Amino acid sequence: MNGKIILVGAASGLLAAALTDVQAWAATEGNFNWAIALKRWLFGALSGAAASFGIPGATL
């Protein structure tokens, strides 16, 4: 398994989750829950890595 593929998957999952939360933060009036946002970013990275790990034949 190519570690580069897993790293790219993790980075893309993290970026997608972070962009979603930043847009939600910009639209929020009041307190934004950064703890939940950071958990989403972590799980976004983990799910991206898991998705890239499970795709046979994927190459960069």
Closest CA to 11 of 56, 54, 37, 41: 41
- Tens-place pLDDT, residues 4-52: 888 888 888 888 888 888 887 888 888 878 888 888 888 888 888 888 7
Amino acid at 27: A
| pLDDT the model gives residue 32 | 79
How far apart are the C-alpha atoms of 6 and 19, rounded to whole Å? 20
Closest CA to 15 of 52, 44, 54: 44
Answer whether 0.75 is exceeded by the pTM: no
Q: Is the pLDDT of residue 55 over 80?
A: no
| pLDDT the model gives residue 56 | 62
